[in-house]
Structure 1
Amino acid sequence: MYAGIGKLTGAGPWGRIGRWAARSLPEAVLYTGLELAGFLLRLAVPRLHRRILTNMGVVLLEQGLRHADLKRMARSYWTQLTVAMFELLCMADELPAHGMRRIAVNGEEHLDEALEEGKGAIIYAPHTGNFFFTYWRLSQSYDCLAVATAGSAELRPLYLRFQQLGCKGLDYDATPPLELLRRLKSHLAGGGVIFLLGDFYRPTFPVSRLFGRLTRSPSGAAQLSLEHGVPVVPCCSFREGRFRHRVELGRPIRLYEAYGRKERTKAAEELNRVLEQGILRHPEQWFYWFQSHERWLAESAGASKESLVR
């Protein structure tokens, strides 16, 4: 998947053609063309499509989804991926002119409520919809700082594009952990907002559970909330009709009122429930289906014990 993204981000002529199409073609025609491109892409990588279908089934069939709906969602995943990549590569430069009307936000009063406490706020979201557009939109109204993983050569051009649009971020892979924590704490202390996509995966993360399965999840949001009294605002973003997006912010979660400082694992798993709810709103729009199988840990006594101890 990342190799394919790398080919797109490095394709200069195709980018120029795509930007012309974004400016010149009616939305209905453009979207239909991207649906066709997603269909052809799916046919070109049948093994990857089968993997995505299997990965979806592992999680979604347990949620009561029917097999027929599962196949439909797996096909829709390719459309969502194709359209999102086109937006990032060919429509991002139009965000200053058109982004505010293309990306609606519900629930800003919840974020405002959290910020009134004077300790900043953490927006916690999964990789659904066009999460780059989501962050840009929130950055227009709030002093936002994101933690991203820009070390990938394939994805780096996308991060740089949004940096040029004024989106501030810290590179998780390039920033020393203590420096990363210091800058996040400083931003929150100044009343800022931290935007965290909590469903990215590293083998070094603490053991947790997602969709009832052992995995490894970042615990930074839980740590900041418990140690510094920072409210966490759930966020879910999704596409609703062609090139329109909706961002939904939920009621603040005050982990520090429910857990002690040493209960970081329990607090982090509560945040994982937030991610699950966001993903299940529009499962076909979750980016990580292509490699979700890599994040599930074997259910062993040792792993379960580690989950309870951390």
Structure 2
Amino acid sequence: MSGLTERLADVGYASGWSLVRHLPEGAARAIFDRVGTVAGSRGGGPDQLRKNLARVLGCTPADVPDDLMRDSMRSYLRYWREAFRMPSMDLATAASRVCMPDADRDRFMTALDKGKGLIFALPHSGNWDAAGVWLVQNVGEFSTVAERLKPDSLFERFVRYRESLGFEIFPLSGGQTPPYPQLAARLRAGGVVCLLGERDLAKHGVPVTFFGEKTRMPAGPAKLAIETGAALIPVHHWFTGPDTSQISCGEPIDASGGIDATTQALAAVFETNIGAHPADWHMLQPLWEADWSSNRRRLIEEGRG
């Protein structure tokens, strides 16, 4: 982004947090639902989102149903509505709107009780911040990584927001120390780490097949599990009603086959969960190799991306 675009983005997000949080909840919901409906109606919505959903459905972009695009944009706008309003909410109330089946909770608590740490890996689905609030309110603090946004003021705004929810945040890049050793230390102390696991932000991820096409996914979850002995559990979050949502926790991923095999196994679970709730998967960026820019392809060929 250009410097002007970055500044405008910062102003826009600042306005969202300062204005939307003060709207009555019903009014905020109506406004964001309407914007999402208009954005996704009659062939609308971001082209990249349509391409990504076509992979999930196994069809061409032109054949992605308009109602799915509409629901996807409404879901995406709901994420932002909730993010802008979360700082003004009672966090215990926010957590009470998130459901997790008892069997899923028992599964991850059994893993956590072993004392070797626990890694939750999830895709960009539903509202991962709301899922994090549920975790903090029901289990305790966890550690995660934040993408380095520009300008720095915008990045710092997001860090302050997530720290206010009770998350421990490590910058993906530009911090005093890399995040990996800090995350590993938290796990070795028996802590919890949550990582978004399907988008390769660092540009040096593991090659996987995802919905039948080649892409790369972050190596961090698998590498941390292998090196620390922490359990690696796939998580999914999706919306179930106007103000309610659900988290699922799968069986721990077997990490004995190495980083590549573990990451591919994680991708397979993500496929199942995203396929069950495609409207709540907020992937508006190029993800698959076929959609990469020429610069990204060049860096991969040179071993630098």
SS of equivalent residue, structure 2 residue 100:
strand
- The structural deviation recorded for 1:284 is 1.2
Cα distance in 2 for residues equivalent to 1:122 and 1:63 = 33
Which residue of the partner structure matches residue 88 of structure 2?
A: 93
Which residue of the partner structure matches residue 278 of structure 2?
A: 283
Cα distance in 2 for residues equivalent to 1:65 and 1:114 = 41
In the superposition, relative to structure 1, how do residues 17 and 209 fare at CA in structure 2: closer, same or farther (>3 Å)? same
Cα distance in 1 for residues equivalent to 2:17 and 2:213 = 40
Within the candidate set 119, 122, 145, 1:147 is matched to 145
Which residue of the partner structure matches residue 169 of structure 1?
A: 169
TM-score, normalization: structure 1? 0.79
Which residue of the partner structure matches residue 182 of structure 2?
A: 183
- The structural deviation recorded for 1:20 is 2.8
Cα distance in 1 for residues equivalent to 2:92 and 2:261 = 43
Cα deviations by residue, 1:208-237 (Å, 9 ceiling, x for unpaired): 222222112111111122233221111110
- The structural deviation recorded for 1:290 is 4.3
One-letter code aligned to 1:252 = P
TM-score, normalization: structure 2? 0.81
One-letter code aligned to 1:33 = I
SS of equivalent residue, structure 1 residue 34:
helix
Q: Does 1:8 align with 2:2?
A: no
Identity %: 20
One-letter code aligned to 2:180 = L
Cα distance in 2 for residues equivalent to 1:277 and 1:64 = 20
One-letter code aligned to 1:9 = Y
Cα distance in 2 for residues equivalent to 1:6 and 1:276 = 33
Matched ranges for 1:19-168 at <5 A = 19-21=21-23, 24-25=24-25, 27=26, 30-42=28-40, 49-57=46-54, 59-62=55-58, 67=63, 70-106=65-101, 107-140=104-137, 141-153=139-151, 154=154, 156-168=156-168
- The structural deviation recorded for 1:15 is 4.4
One-letter code aligned to 1:191 = G
In the superposition, relative to structure 1, how do residues 143 and 160 fare at CA in structure 2: closer, same or farther (>3 Å)? closer
SS of equivalent residue, structure 1 residue 194:
strand
Cα distance in 2 for residues equivalent to 1:267 and 1:199 = 13
SS of equivalent residue, structure 1 residue 269:
helix
One-letter code aligned to 2:14 = G
SS of equivalent residue, structure 1 residue 151:
coil
Q: Does 1:273 align with 2:268?
A: yes
Cα distance in 1 for residues equivalent to 2:107 and 2:155 = 31
Cα distance in 1 for residues equivalent to 2:245 and 2:22 = 22
One-letter code aligned to 2:129 = F
- The structural deviation recorded for 1:283 is 0.9
One-letter code aligned to 2:30 = T
Checking the alignment, whether the CA contact within 8 Å between 1:214 and 1:296 is kept in structure 2 is no
- The structural deviation recorded for 1:41 is 4.1
Checking the alignment, whether the CA contact within 8 Å between 1:56 and 1:70 is kept in structure 2 is no
SS of equivalent residue, structure 1 residue 287:
coil
Give 1 or 2: higher helix fraction. Answer: 1
Checking the alignment, whether the CA contact within 8 Å between 2:49 and 2:283 is kept in structure 1 is no
Cα distance in 1 for residues equivalent to 2:245 and 2:38 = 24
Please, which runs of 5 or more residues in structure 2 have no aligned partner?
Answer: none
SS of equivalent residue, structure 1 residue 214:
strand
- The structural deviation recorded for 1:64 is 11
Cα deviations by residue, 1:59-90 (Å, 9 ceiling, x for unpaired): 033289994x6321111111111111111112
Pairwise CA RMSD of aligned residues? 3.2
In the superposition, relative to structure 1, how do residues 277 and 254 fare at CA in structure 2: closer, same or farther (>3 Å)? same
Q: Does 1:229 align with 2:229?
A: yes
Cα distance in 1 for residues equivalent to 2:270 and 2:57 = 18
Cα distance in 2 for residues equivalent to 1:209 and 1:77 = 24
Cα distance in 2 for residues equivalent to 1:50 and 1:247 = 28
Cα distance in 2 for residues equivalent to 1:9 and 1:184 = 28
Cα distance in 1 for residues equivalent to 2:271 and 2:53 = 13
Cα distance in 1 for residues equivalent to 2:247 and 2:196 = 14
